[in-house]
Amino acid sequence: MQAAASTAMAAHAILSTSPSSCALLSPPPALRSLFHGVNLPLRQSMASLSLAAPSTRKPLTVVAATKKAVAVLKGTSSVEGVVTLTQEDDGPTTVNVRITGLTPGLHGFHLHEYGDTTNGCISTGPHFNPNGLTHGAPEDEVRHAGDLGNIIANADGILPLFSSCVVVCVLSKHLYFWA
């Protein structure tokens, strides 16, 4: 559907009618291509392209139960990377992380409420905490869902791959991506 709309928009953008002195008494004007250096007549059937929604709507059918979110980490420092969250059916969410440009050693890793970094870290909000629990370590029974513990960057400042299974963090239509 999106491809059809894009095609229709592209076609709409290149179609033009030739000028006519009297639109009511004249036959329909010829359609011409407006591509630079190309002036080809177009079939009249192409004039009926429409961006309107189809009259018969079909319900959205979910064909796979896998939910996935990806965040690309890139800011003003040399730290960058990719975080991928994946959930199969109603199982735990797996978080895979690859980061470069870190200082060697331990770094805290948490998921925040919002993916908004327009005002630095302050606009990302608090740690993701849908159950209103207190801060804790990943092994603690009582903790924020977004508390993922420490990651360890190697001597080159690279976290090649970190994977964690987060039991209480469920991806849904209300997903906010945090980094």
Task: Say which CATH number the domain at 96 has.
Answer: 2.60.40.200
Q: How far apart, in whole angstroms, are the C-alpha atoms of residue 2 and residue 21? A: 38
Whether 156 is in a domain gets the answer yes
pLDDT at 104: 92
Question: Do the domain assignments include residue 173?
Answer: no
Task: Give every residue of the chain whose pLDDT is below 70, as ranges.
Answer: 1-64, 161-179
Q: Which pTM value belongs to this model? A: 0.52
Q: Examine residue 59 and state whether it is found in any structural domain, yes or no.
A: no
Question: Which residue range is the domain that position 17 belongs to?
Answer: 2-48
Which DSSP letter does residue 21 get? S
